[in-house]
Amino acid sequence: MKTNDFERYRVKPSTKISLDDFDPDETGAFPGGKGEADLALAGLNKKFGELQELLYAEHRHKVLIVLQGMDTAGKDGVIRHVFEGANPQGVKVSAFKAPTAEELGHDFLWRVHRCAPGSGEIMIFNRSHYEDVLVVRVHDLVPEDVWKTRYESINAFEKLLRREGTTTLKFFLHISKDEQRKRLQSRLDDPTKRWKFNPADLPERRLWSDYQKAYEEVLSRTSTDDAPWYIVPSDKKWYRNLTVSALLVEAMEGLHMKFPRTDIDPGQIVIN
């Protein structure tokens, strides 16, 4: 497996996207199947652990992971499997739900900027600032002339993060409507998973086409060199996890990190 095989999922800047052109069930960059993929993922997890230790020790770079997708696309699954074994000191997760009264009193990026990663940290956004051009658009929560200006603000925000040393990777977990139906039904049928089932997901499912259009505009207008989007085929959970892990490891290797030098001479220290 070559990690750069997965680069084909990267959305080139200024590319008009139609999600109909992307197969959510494909596994083309890794034809070996789930068994081989699990072995490959274990190797990637080990490599990620080493890179995370370097990131934390060097304390120079910052990494931001943005996870977006329809309900059941697997945001929690990615966090659980891709970041397995990570040192919790250096990895944090922020989940953005409906804004509070205090957050609504500020600009829409205020609450997001406060959660941006610090030096040596990896921050995972489970949903993100993109809700402010997705949910607000589909549910008509703010006027169109308000949410349409937000693409430019988001691009400028992510450019600022890049200038300050943040590597941003954005993953759209692309599933089919039929796969979502199966996953919702599985939650309903399995008593151990029923707690995950939210009846409020069903009205959102009826807005599938509206969300697809909203995501297409997000992907078309906000994939940049500073913060690229990747459209990750996610009907197969194992392939989704493998793709995200491979792209994350590749990006972190590209930081060319080194352990910091010290003035300590081990030969001059005696530990009794």
pLDDT for 84 equals 86
Report the C-alpha gap between 36 and 32 in whole angstroms. Answer: 6
pLDDT band at 240 (very low <50, low <70, confident <90, very high): very high
pLDDT for 4 equals 67
Residue that the structure tokens 């590749």 belong to: 250
24-29: average pLDDT: 90
Q: Is the pLDDT of residue 14 over 70?
A: yes
Q: Domains in the chain, ordered, with CATH?
A: 3-257 (3.40.50.300)
pLDDT for 269 equals 82
Q: Is the pLDDT of residue 22 over 90?
A: yes
Q: Which residues of 141-171 are buried (b: 16+ CB within 10 A; e: fewer)?
A: eeeeeebeebbeebbebbeebbeeebbbbbb
Report the C-alpha gap between 35 and 251 in whole angstroms. Answer: 25
pLDDT for 266 equals 79
Q: What is the pLDDT of residues 101-147, one digit of tens each?
A: 999 999 999 999 999 999 999 999 999 999 999 999 999 999 999 99
Q: What is the pLDDT of residues 151-162, one digit of tens each?
A: 999 999 999 999
Q: Is the pLDDT of residue 270 over 90?
A: no
Q: Is the pLDDT of residue 257 over 70?
A: yes
pLDDT for 201 equals 87
pLDDT for 1 equals 59
Q: Is the pLDDT of residue 98 over 80?
A: yes
User: Which of 76, 82, 172 lies closest to 122, judged by CA?
Assistant: 82
